[in-house]
């Protein structure tokens, strides 16, 4: 039976979050389920070990500053009745990692770990920082329901995969506009892409800003949808980051 507009609107309040890299809804009726397990033939790999990161000799070692670092994931709605839902803003916390700072971007590298259990959903200050289009608040119960749902085994599986890993593979260009090839590992699935990054250096500190896009389907996931696709999570996720690192 096709869900009516009232039912769809109720589901839509919760259509999810980052790791909507997989699906999600925090307060959908119990009869609605999202199918988020990766297919049997999905390319998978465990989170990289420290040896997997390129560490050029003669570099300065900097540590990620979790107070000033933030990764923001914009999850947008889609479908014919998308107007009945809303977009979400997911933010990271307690990030860890290392930057090996060389004379040029090509001689530098980094690794970053994002603890999944520390993701926050639709914090008022995060929505305000994301732009005017996110000015509408999201009810607390919807936020909590969405967060619980994205951490369960069908979505991010926070118990088995407690962190998302991002590491550099190669870099080129200058500090103001470097081109960095990064490997992103989510729930054991790794993909690489090249992104532009603006980098500031001052007094033993480095600040890197940029953005990238990830498609849920590239990670073997099916975007969450209800009402026969009338409302759904858009396949493409926008990830914005400001990464700060300084000396130990």
Q: What's the pLDDT score for residue 105?
A: 96
236-246 and 60-64: which strand pairing?
Answer: antiparallel
Considering only residues 220 and 162, tell me which one the structure prediction assigns the higher pLDDT: 162
Instruction: Please give the C-alpha separations between residue 191 and each of 39, 40, 45, 129, 208, in angstroms, as whole numbers.
Output: 16, 17, 10, 28, 21
Q: What is the pLDDT of residues 65-84, one digit of tens each?
A: 999 999 999 988 888 877 77
Confidence of residue 146 (pLDDT cuts 50, 70, 90): confident
For residue 234, pLDDT beyond 50: yes
More confident residue, 80 or 51: 80
Question: What pTM was estimated for this model as a whole?
Answer: 0.75
Confidence label for 232 from pLDDT (cuts 50, 70 and 90): confident
Q: In this structure, are residues 139 and 180 in contact, taking their beta carbons and an 8 Å threshold?
A: no
Give the model's confidence band at 184: pLDDT under 50 very low, under 70 low, under 90 confident, else very high: very high
User: In this structure, are residues 155 and 22 in contact, taking their beta carbons and an 8 Å threshold?
Assistant: yes
| pLDDT score at 53 | 56
Mean pLDDT of the chain: 78
Residue 79 DSSP label: S
Which of 1-5, 67-71, 156-160, 213-217 is predicted least confidently? 1-5
3-class secondary structure, 71: strand
Q: Which CATH architecture has domain 5-26+47-246?
A: Beta Barrel (2.40)
pLDDT band of 156, cuts 50, 70, 90: confident
**Given this model, what pLDDT does residue 220 score?**
67
């Amino acid at each position: 039976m096709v869900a009516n507009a009232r039912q769809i609107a109720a589901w839509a309040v919760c259509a999810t979050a980052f790791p909507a890299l997989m699906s999600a809804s925090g307060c959908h009726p119990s009869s609605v389920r999202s199918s988020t397990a990766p297919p049997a033939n999905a390319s998978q790999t465990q989170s990289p070990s420290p040896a997997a990161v390129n560490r050029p000799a003669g570099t300065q070692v900097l540590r990620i500053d979790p107070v000033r670092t933030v990764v923001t994931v914009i999850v947008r709605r889609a479908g014919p009745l998308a107007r009945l839902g809303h977009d979400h803003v997911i933010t990271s916390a307690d990030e860890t990692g290392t930057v090996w700072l060389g004379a040029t971007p090509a001689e530098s590298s980094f690794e970053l770990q994002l603890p999944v259990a520390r993701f926050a959903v639709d914090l008022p200050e995060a929505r305000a920082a994301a732009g005017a289009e996110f000015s509408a608040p999201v009810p607390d119960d919807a936020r909590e329901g969405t967060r619980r749902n994205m951490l369960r085994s069908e979505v991010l599986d926070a118990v088995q995969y407690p962190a998302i890993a991002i590491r550099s593979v190669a870099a080129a260009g200058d500090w103001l506009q470097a081109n960095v090839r990064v490997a992103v590992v989510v729930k054991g699935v790794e993909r690489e892409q090249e992104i532009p990054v603006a980098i500031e250096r001052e007094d033993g500190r480095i600040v890197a800003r940029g953005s990238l896009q990830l498609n849920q389907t590239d990670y073997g996931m099916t975007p969450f949808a209800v009402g026969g696709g009338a409302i759904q999570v858009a396949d493409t996720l926008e990830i914005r980051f400001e990464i700060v690192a300084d000396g130990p």
